[in-house]
Structure 1
Amino acid sequence: MSSTPLRQFALQGAAVILVLSLAWPYYGWAGGSMPWQQTSLLIGAVALALATITRQAWWWRLIHALFMPLVWLTWTLNIDPGWFLLAFILLLLVYRGALSGQVPLYLSNRETVAALDELIGKEESQRFLDLGAGIGSTLIPLADRWPDRQFTGAENAPLTWLIGRILGVGRPNLHWLWEDLWQMPLGEHDLVYAFLSPVPMPKLWEKARAEMKPGSLFVSNSFPVPGVTPECIVEVACSPPRPLYCYRI
């Protein structure tokens, strides 16, 4: 079963329907009120079972198991609905990529930036592209390190884009774009870097193969392209390990 958000909603919904279709008639005929705490726990257990049967990743199983119990717990706190709206807006501003493409916000650490710095020098890359550039934690120090080379960042979450745009001011070799990574053309760049998630890697690799120039380099932080052997793997000295998987076009 695919792990797209729509299918995950369907799985959780199936667990809710299954449990309520049995619980509501039972308590209705018995004339008792629904024990929502126990019902939410049962829904979580059924959702966990369905996620396990459909071979979802472990984090999806955890989400399915805890989702409905946490909904019940939140309901008991009597929180003003306005706070939920505010939290939703803030999450959308920062984690829009997770909603639209299952790409959460990851920030590259200093060790990774140093490894990319060495790779740029080794490859003599003149045009570097960061897909899902976040707040510029990768691009800004690299643009400072190589003022004679061009660096481009594509980011589609409004708040992180704005932070990166502000932090990157004053660097003429840094181009900061509010752009969806799937709409970003790759052909002008000789090194394309991505720190995304396992989900989009097969599709992104097909995009890279179709658009990038022969001899250019596609680099994925932490998440390899399934079924494709990288030209090399750069081991980054950090914890947790963040290897760079390098694929020659």
Structure 2
Amino acid sequence: MNSTPKRQFALQGAAVILVLSIAWPYYGWKAEAMPWLETSLAIGGVALFFATVSRQPWWWRVIHGGFMPLVWYTYGLAIDPIWFLLAAIFLLLVFRGALSGQVPLYLSNKQTVAALADLLAERGPSRFLDLGAGLGSTTVPLADALPDSHFTGYENAPLTWLVGRFFSLGRPNIRWRWDDLWQARLGEYDVVYAFLSPAPMPRLWEKVKAEMAPGSLFISNSFPPPGVTPDRIVDVDCNPPRPLYCYQL
């Protein structure tokens, strides 16, 4: 199964081409106007079929099935195009990670922060790196709870970085960076934390092995590197479950 954005564009494009290559000649031969509602529903059905056959995750199947019918419905609302431009800019500012690296915006909850604080307390003063730090929902409360440790957050979405930068103000043990997580030098930290998605985990694990120093700790929230047995799993008391997979280097 390949669920990359390019694959999804290809599946949706194939459905559009297939349906239109049949519908346009058919209605042109009959000299009738194209029934766009029915055509959009047909494209959605074909796209759903393609996504199911190629074993895409269930949410991609829903997106494929509903995308073109929603396009037709939205077109009928006659919304000023400027609103679509503003929405696209907003999505880029907040969800850049999802567009560029299949990493959505996840916010760590209070229970997860408490579990991380316990893990850090066991190690003593540490240098902690949060890859994809979002709004600072992990880094800021940890910095308050553990003033003897130093915390760094990497975030590449401009608006979320700005919000996190605001919340980190006045905390000398936080360094807040607007940068790509792949540019981080993992060897400079004692503990590296990631709450990303399954997509980047194989590549990230290779980076962890190559850069992190012996004795350091890698923690992945919810998404373990495939095929790697964690040294410890911390079950966080929250719903939905958010286990912490811990790997001692």
CA distance in 1, matches of 2:48, 2:216: 43
Question: Which is further off, 74-83 or 122-131?
Answer: 122-131
Output one character per residue of 1:64-103: Cα deviation in whole Å (capped at 9) or x when no partner: 1111111111111110000000001111100000000000
Show structure 1 runs of 4+ deviating over 4 A.
none
Partner of 1:188: 188
Question: Offset of 1:105 from its aligned partner?
Answer: 0.3
Task: State the TM-score, normalizing by the size of structure 2.
Answer: 0.98
AA in 2 matched with 1:66 = G
What is the RMSD computed on CA atoms of the aligned residues? 0.9
CA contact (8 A) 1:135 1:161 kept: yes
Output one character per residue of 1:97-141: Cα deviation in whole Å (capped at 9) or x when no partner: 000000000000000000000010113351000000001010001
Question: Offset of 1:149 from its aligned partner?
Answer: 1.1
CA distance in 2, matches of 1:115, 1:207: 25
Percent of aligned pairs with the same amino acid:
71
CA distance in 1, matches of 2:103, 2:45: 27
Partner of 1:124: 124
AA in 1 matched with 2:110 = R
Question: Which is further off, 158-167 or 118-127?
Answer: 118-127
Q: Secondary structure at the match of 2:233?
A: strand
Q: Secondary structure at the match of 2:246?
A: strand
CA distance in 1, matches of 2:160, 2:227: 32
CA distance in 1, matches of 2:117, 2:151: 12
CA contact (8 A) 1:230 1:246 kept: yes
1:165 aligns with 2:191: no
1:225 aligns with 2:232: no
Q: Secondary structure at the match of 2:186?
A: coil
CA distance in 2, matches of 1:135, 1:223: 20
CA distance in 2, matches of 1:217, 1:125: 13
Q: How many correspondences in the alignment? A: 249
AA in 1 matched with 2:135 = I
Task: State the TM-score, normalizing by the size of structure 1.
Answer: 0.98
Output one character per residue of 1:137-156: Cα deviation in whole Å (capped at 9) or x when no partner: 10001111111111000000
1:36 aligns with 2:32: no
